[in-house]
Amino acid sequence: MSTTRRSTADQATFQTSAPNTLLTLYRRTRQRTLSLVEPLSEEDCCVQSQLSCSPAKWHLGHTTWFFERFIAVDALGKSAYNDRFEFLFNSYYNALGDRQPRACRGLLTRPGLGEVLAYRHVVDDAVCEALEQDRLPQQALAALRLGLNHEQQHQELLLMDIKHLFSCSPLHVPYIDDEPAEEVSSASSAHWVEFAGGLTEVGAIAGDGFTFDNESPRHRVFREPFALQNRLITNGEYRAFVEDNGYERAELWLDAGWRARSQAEWRMPAYWCEVDGVLCEFTLYGTRPLRDAEPVLHLSYFEADAFARWSGARLPTEFELETAYPTSAGDDDANGRLLEAGRFHAAPAVERSDRSVMRQVRGDAWEWTSSSYGPYPGYRPPPGAVGEYNGKFMCNQYVLRGGSFATPTDHLRSTYRNFFEPGDRWQFSGLRLARSLNA
Amino acid sequence: MSTTRRSTADQATFQTSAPNTLLTLYRRTRQRTLSLVEPLSEEDCCVQSQLSCSPAKWHLGHTTWFFERFIAVDALGKSAYNDRFEFLFNSYYNALGDRQPRACRGLLTRPGLGEVLAYRHVVDDAVCEALEQDRLPQQALAALRLGLNHEQQHQELLLMDIKHLFSCSPLHVPYIDDEPAEEVSSASSAHWVEFAGGLTEVGAIAGDGFTFDNESPRHRVFREPFALQNRLITNGEYRAFVEDNGYERAELWLDAGWRARSQAEWRMPAYWCEVDGVLCEFTLYGTRPLRDAEPVLHLSYFEADAFARWSGARLPTEFELETAYPTSAGDDDANGRLLEAGRFHAAPAVERSDRSVMRQVRGDAWEWTSSSYGPYPGYRPPPGAVGEYNGKFMCNQYVLRGGSFATPTDHLRSTYRNFFEPGDRWQFSGLRLARSLNA
Amino acid sequence: MSTTRRSTADQATFQTSAPNTLLTLYRRTRQRTLSLVEPLSEEDCCVQSQLSCSPAKWHLGHTTWFFERFIAVDALGKSAYNDRFEFLFNSYYNALGDRQPRACRGLLTRPGLGEVLAYRHVVDDAVCEALEQDRLPQQALAALRLGLNHEQQHQELLLMDIKHLFSCSPLHVPYIDDEPAEEVSSASSAHWVEFAGGLTEVGAIAGDGFTFDNESPRHRVFREPFALQNRLITNGEYRAFVEDNGYERAELWLDAGWRARSQAEWRMPAYWCEVDGVLCEFTLYGTRPLRDAEPVLHLSYFEADAFARWSGARLPTEFELETAYPTSAGDDDANGRLLEAGRFHAAPAVERSDRSVMRQVRGDAWEWTSSSYGPYPGYRPPPGAVGEYNGKFMCNQYVLRGGSFATPTDHLRSTYRNFFEPGDRWQFSGLRLARSLNA
Amino acid sequence: MSTTRRSTADQATFQTSAPNTLLTLYRRTRQRTLSLVEPLSEEDCCVQSQLSCSPAKWHLGHTTWFFERFIAVDALGKSAYNDRFEFLFNSYYNALGDRQPRACRGLLTRPGLGEVLAYRHVVDDAVCEALEQDRLPQQALAALRLGLNHEQQHQELLLMDIKHLFSCSPLHVPYIDDEPAEEVSSASSAHWVEFAGGLTEVGAIAGDGFTFDNESPRHRVFREPFALQNRLITNGEYRAFVEDNGYERAELWLDAGWRARSQAEWRMPAYWCEVDGVLCEFTLYGTRPLRDAEPVLHLSYFEADAFARWSGARLPTEFELETAYPTSAGDDDANGRLLEAGRFHAAPAVERSDRSVMRQVRGDAWEWTSSSYGPYPGYRPPPGAVGEYNGKFMCNQYVLRGGSFATPTDHLRSTYRNFFEPGDRWQFSGLRLARSLNA
């Protein structure tokens, strides 16, 4: 998918979009969330399996609350569906008052799934009616677009959280059945693609479709010449690191990483396990033998960094990745839109003749970068409660670029900044190697 | 309910019971557990609200597994309903292998409630068929009786755990509606009843109905002369302790109690709260104003002990209570069987003319004793896995006697030993004052 | 040392003691504490190696503060040496106000050791002068006797704490040099000594020398017939338990014990370690090969209990030990007064012809009992701050009887109750086996 | 001190330095460490007051071990003074084997201070002899220079750690007496100094005196136009933030900062306290009233960031500070070399007529920057154990620039990168405000 075509598409759907187009988008987005919880029971939707995860039901309620609060209540003057729901479904907006502690989202057996779905219905009716009647002012439309992108982020979070929950079950239940057969059993070869350095612009171009505040302002950065591998690191390559005792060699690790590894007793990526002597992986399709050609997933920053050091390379910076992607114009890598295509796992890079094409730049695995997540020069959070959306998390997290198989397609843009703490590994995160050319 | 009549009843149901009487009892007991979960949704049944609580679904599965394992599999040679269920539903029997960690019982969204109920059905069919055909050997019949008493214990645990879960909800949802109106608003007066000391026998009389191993062997103990109050401490009395800064005066507390209170920031009993300036209590009927005449509930050992010290009295020993109860023969205190009568909370002691009658000795609130839970002289746990039922917990716990509104009626016997850690307070625990007569 | 002679001696020193005898005792006791810190540097005296240990300097200050507070200030009207010292050296007396948190006693680099010794000197001068001039009223004399016994308890604590501190050093520094050579390499044989049951009196006889409040009131208890082994369990016997995988077999352990063992990864008693393939023990003489004939030391209650179960026996109750000791009249076991004799470790029981004599009943290792530490019937703590001395700790601790090589001789009495939490093992604690005769 | 003169001086002392000059420097540096511990007792030198602090004795031993290991052993072939000392005094070099856990450095009562000083003496003799005889090869000379800079870093750490230890004492003991009287009671006025943006070079210039590896390679960065305040934030300004409820307003804080503040219950900077209603500060001179004109010290990154947000400004980046400093050429701010001048606390900025001069750029308080501590483009840690010096800590820490009153003078260079975790606040850290000019 070319950047050019994407931003054209964006303009169609977001920017110059007539309300009715927004209506279609709203319905499609809301429906897609529902389709993701379809394989789940009420119990699956209720439980919180670790502090950083939320129950699926909470995701359903929280995304709905976002529209209720910022559209139905603030813009349309409706009263709240239930006075207590703001307490239950506010995630982290201090400006909007007290709320259910994050660690206790799994205690909310009430309201039940049925009532949360009814709540969705009521809010959707109000929003859709307003869109049909073209009654939303510009500011509300902006909030609506933010809400849709917000809901899309939660779609990926929901899959991450469900995968974690299901991984805790000794029954090894799959989220979904019928995984496609292995496409290729050996990885395509890896090549280095070189990039000139220099001063360049990064960040979102104002007016060019929806972007989050953390992608702005557009600004200049200077990069030294560098090279990137043309594809992601595979399970097979990472397995070699494991077998070379990568998890036992302190010299390969950051100090904080070594401590994390020691405390949590990491010996392989999350969800890898040995079953009857065979190295396996728990996926959304259940537990099955590890496929060497697929991109490695569920690495922490520390593991990605240690692997890169072991490889004699390093992690890329976020701007190396951002500026490398547009140069790969013309690459319509099929791996984007995996989830839309009904595929719930990362796919291997297929062998191609053109070695200089950057592969898997979107839609397989998030790529850890060495960039600490911080504000761009001149960044200011927007006024009001939504100012808490991104800015206050800009500390001790690292940026991931690209996107995973579970990332909604229109989030697959080169300026998109995902971020996690360096010890997190329940997200769909892998890596691509980088190296400096002049060093 | 007189002791005499109870043990007659016991003999009818347990001891000389023909298998068909056991069949009736089995069906009734199993059915009663189901009736307790009737007000609950699938989500309510799945969540674990604290480490010491278990999800209702787990209680349903665990009690079923007990019968499956010790009757269907061990005695009838059936194969297991599901090979993994022993892993999921074994509570703490090391002799039976690895199991789901206690802290993770709430992660079991699968099997769903429906499947656990189906599992109950299959096991019940097997057990009932065997009982109908009189095919169970003596040893299996003993295990069956243990299983029934075990399930009854879990019925009370289930209510404790559900109460805790519901108390965590900001929605203040009741477990059950329509609480009976307040009976009396002021407590009956309290009197001291005196008891001679001396050497006496305590513990279960062999052959006199079902008892747990921890109630045996019967043995002799020497007691100094003592007095007990004729009824339990009320909410009103305990409120006076709170208002007298009882929670702020270190001299009233055990050292470990003071530390527990400080760390957990206890300022009143569990489930007490202030709502709009009114002192309220969360009950199985929801949150409503505290009723002064009712027995205080949800005290830790430390709070009960501090209250007793503040009162210039002390907690009774377990043998003071045990030997005091039979002397109150003829007292048919109506409070026993509260739950069977459809009442889900402790009831006040009604005023009576006979001051020497011990009141509320069964069926309102468990009474903390100063007795550390230990083995009786000559105690030996039974052989096999059931040997882990009681013995291994005989350390750092304190005995409670009597019974609560949620205790099944045939557990309301004077030799019954309940036990909890001194900091626990989610059980239905109150206290009765004691004092030494010669000291 | 016979009981008779001891209590005669006690009467001489404590009861009918003229002030000048008390003076001698005061000087001797205070001097002995100083002699214990003689091998220590200022740094050794300052550091706190775990929460339950105190620095030697703090012991020096705290014991001095006890005399300053209850004699010099309260009885003699002196002003405090330093206003802040009560804050620093009050251990746990809530009645006397705020104090240095226990966990932070090791942060007190000031006052330095020199100043604390000067403080001792000033207080000693005041007390001795008052004793010489016979100016202390009865109540102050009682406080003085309590203070001396208090200081003696701290002498043993000081050795426990120093041993723990030194055990933390990778340098394996001995507290003292020149350990006596091994006396015997194989243990004397063990025999069972039988005791009739029945009703009997236990607890301190009023007027019979100094005792702590927790030894009173004297009262009656009923014991079933029982037997005790005539000597303590040896290292060799305990080593057999270790080699029989005693630490890997859950069925031998209390549930709380199994959790403690798992969390702390216990695989042998505290201070045992393997050096170059040889099983060794860290002692106050440094690290040296384990001596099989010596009593095992540094067991937690849980380990002692598991060992007893593995042996097919059990731990004794505190009253079984208390009532068994007087029957061994005539035994002048040489092991008492080990420390006074300059020996800093427990000694083996030497073979004797008379099998029925109870050996090592005092002065080698504290003996864990199955008795939870609680108040005797009619017990009341004394009024005032000293009421916090014992009573408030009567919860979740277990009684140890007998005494260790480090216990001052006049604490070696049959009614003495030592107590520790069941997971503690830095004290000099071993065990003696018991069994029930009629069970 | 002008940059020009400093680097000339550096060249004199480091670069072209003849060994005998190095000898002088070695002796002076080693002597200065000794002078810092002069006010301390043996006990003060032994205790570790929190995990991130080390005992002064450990600093003495560790800095000595650095020279022993890399000069005396590796370069001169000497044998170790004591085989166990590498275990004791290795800080974090995995390549050099196991070591005393950081959390347990305070347990090392042995070797005593005297022996550690003797150890210093022996190592110093060996190093000085080699320097006198000009026997050290180039690589060893580089290690020696690193060791001297390393020791200088530990000089500041030692003061930080001692201040923390002394702050824990209820006695409020000063490290040093006779603080100079307050110079000015009101702060000089603050002005904004503007800087043009553009592409510029940052990082150490190779060959220009000693620098740490983390200051290299020199490379280009692009900065937008910005402004900095000409002096540090004062206590008085920070006090206004506190009084404006800055610690109670979540909207001013990073999310991680709000959590840190809530968990640790921060209500003011470290070492501020209220004494009898007067806001005071614990300093190396003891506790005394807060001086409004002095720079605020002991802020965490989170507090500095919240203060900046409250001020409508932001923290500078590390490169804004680095490139702003040389422009202030000609400023001979007297505050540098405070410690050398015998002053143990930060000093106020005195009023000056030239508003555009950057004040307090060195030598009062470290300045938090918004820059996450990471490697410069092309950075590679040096080979061998010293490769662990800096690189492995480049994660989740933030850069501080400038220097404090306790920073050795020749560390006061514009490329120097100090770094701490964002929650740390026992270092001498304050802030200077920045803002973007075009935003």
CA distance C190 to chain D (A): 41
CB contact under 8 A, B100 and A46: no
pLDDT band at C315 (very low <50, low <70, confident <90, very high): very high
Task: Give B-chain residues touching A113 at CB under 8 angstroms.
Answer: 43
Tell me which chain C residue has its CA closest to the CA of residue D82.
C171
pLDDT band at D333 (very low <50, low <70, confident <90, very high): low
Mutate to test the interface with C, among D54, D107, D115, D172 (most CBs of C within 10 A): D107
Q: Are D358 and D228 in contact (CB under 8 A)?
A: yes
Residue C264's CB is within 10 A of a number of other CB atoms, namely: 12
User: Using CA atoms, how far apart are residues A64 and A56, in angstroms rounded to an integer?
Assistant: 12
Which one has a higher pLDDT value, D36 or B355?
D36
Does C317 score more than 70 pLDDT?
yes
Does A64 score more than 70 pLDDT?
yes
pLDDT of residue A326: 58
pLDDT of residue A20: 67
Which one has a higher pLDDT value, A290 or A331?
A290
Does C389 score more than 50 pLDDT?
yes
Q: Which DSSP string corresponds to B48-78?
A: --STT---HHHHHHHHHHHHIIIIIITTT-P
> Which of C94, C224, C394 is opposite residue B251, by nearest beta carbon?
C94
User: Using CA atoms, how far apart are residues A391 and A413, in angstroms rounded to an integer?
Assistant: 20
User: Using CA atoms, how far apart are residues A87 and A77, in angstroms rounded to an integer?
Assistant: 19
Residue A268's CB is within 10 A of a number of other CB atoms, namely: 21
CB contact under 8 A, B87 and A41: no
Token pair, residue A64, equals 């709905």
A137-A142-A148-A154 Cα dihedral, nearest 10 degrees: -130
Does D339 score more than 50 pLDDT?
yes
> Which of A43, A88, A111 is opposite residue B42, by nearest beta carbon?
A43
pLDDT of residue B337: 63
pLDDT digits (tens, 9 = 90+) for C80-132: 999 999 999 999 898 888 999 999 999 999 999 999 999 999 999 999 999 99
pLDDT of residue B379: 95
pLDDT digits (tens, 9 = 90+) for C215-240: 999 999 999 999 999 999 999 999 99
pLDDT digits (tens, 9 = 90+) for D166-223: 999 999 899 999 999 987 888 888 999 999 999 999 999 988 789 999 999 999 999 9
User: What is the average pLDDT value for chain C, to the nearest integer?
Assistant: 91
Mean of pLDDT values over A203-223:
93
Q: Are A293 and A183 in contact (CB under 8 A)?
A: yes
DSSP A404: B
Task: Give D-chain residues touching C43 at CB under 8 angstroms.
Answer: 42-43, 45-46, 57, 109-110, 112-113
| C323 SS3 class | helix
Kindly state whether A257 is in contact with chain D, defined as any CB-CB distance less than 8 angstroms.
yes
Kindly state whether C49 is in contact with chain D, defined as any CB-CB distance less than 8 angstroms.
yes
Q: Which DSSP string corresponds to B350-371?
A: PP-S-TTS--S-SSB-EEEEEE
Q: Are A253 and A430 in contact (CB under 8 A)?
A: no
Under the phi-then-psi rule, with left for phi > 0, alpha for psi from -120 to 50, and beta for the rest, what region is B276?
Answer: left
CB neighbour class for D85 (10 Å; exposed up to 12, middle 13-18, buried from 19): buried
pLDDT of residue B339: 77
pLDDT of residue B333: 53
pLDDT digits (tens, 9 = 90+) for C372-382: 999 999 999 99
DSSP C103: G
CA distances from D331 to B354, D4, D79, D354, D358 (A): 96, 11, 49, 10, 7
pLDDT of residue B384: 87
Token pair, residue C123, equals 């207080």
CA distance D55 to chain C (A): 11
CB contact under 8 A, A94 and D393: no
Kindly state whether D94 is in contact with chain A, defined as any CB-CB distance less than 8 angstroms.
yes
Mean of pLDDT values over D132-159:
96
CB contact under 8 A, B109 and A169: yes
Kindly state whether A108 is in contact with chain B, defined as any CB-CB distance less than 8 angstroms.
yes
CB contact under 8 A, D224 and A221: no
CA distance D109 to chain C (A): 5
Kindly state whether D439 is in contact with chain A, defined as any CB-CB distance less than 8 angstroms.
yes
CB contact under 8 A, D169 and C41: no
Mean of pLDDT values over A217-243:
97
- Tell me which residue of D362, D436, D438 sits closest to D400, measured CA to CA: D362
Contacts of residue A14, defined as CB under 8 A and 6 or more positions apart, other chains included, come to A25, A145, A209, A210
CB contact under 8 A, B255 and C219: no
Does C333 score more than 70 pLDDT?
no
pLDDT digits (tens, 9 = 90+) for A380-436: 999 888 889 999 999 999 999 999 999 998 898 999 999 999 999 999 999 999 999
Token pair, residue C366, equals 């504290």
User: Using CA atoms, how far apart are residues C49 and B280, in angstroms rounded to an integer?
Assistant: 46
pLDDT of residue B229: 97
Does A331 score more than 50 pLDDT?
no
Q: Which DSSP string corresponds to A268-299?
A: SSTTEEEETTEEEEEETTEEEE--TTSBP---
Mean of pLDDT values over D127-135:
95
pLDDT band at A19 (very low <50, low <70, confident <90, very high): low
CB contact under 8 A, B372 and C374: yes
Chain D, 202 to 241: residues with Cβ < 8 Å from chain A are 217, 219-224
- Residue-by-residue pLDDT tens, chain B, 439 positions: 222 322 333 333 333 445 569 999 999 999 999 999 999 999 999 999 999 999 999 999 999 999 999 999 999 999 999 999 999 999 989 888 899 999 999 999 999 999 999 999 999 999 999 999 999 999 999 999 999 999 999 999 999 999 999 999 999 899 999 999 987 888 888 999 999 999 999 999 988 789 999 999 999 999 999 999 999 999 999 999 999 999 999 999 999 999 999 999 999 999 999 999 999 999 999 999 999 999 999 999 999 999 999 999 999 999 999 999 854 444 445 455 677 778 899 999 988 888 888 899 888 999 999 999 999 999 999 988 888 999 999 999 999 999 999 999 889 899 999 999 999 999 999 999 999 997 5
CA B350 from chain center: how many Å?
23
> Which of B43, B110, B113 is opposite residue A173, by nearest beta carbon?
B110
| D147 SS3 class | helix
pLDDT band at A320 (very low <50, low <70, confident <90, very high): very high
What crossing angle do the helices spanning C19-37 and C138-167 adopt, rounded to 10°? 10
CA distance C42 to chain D (A): 6
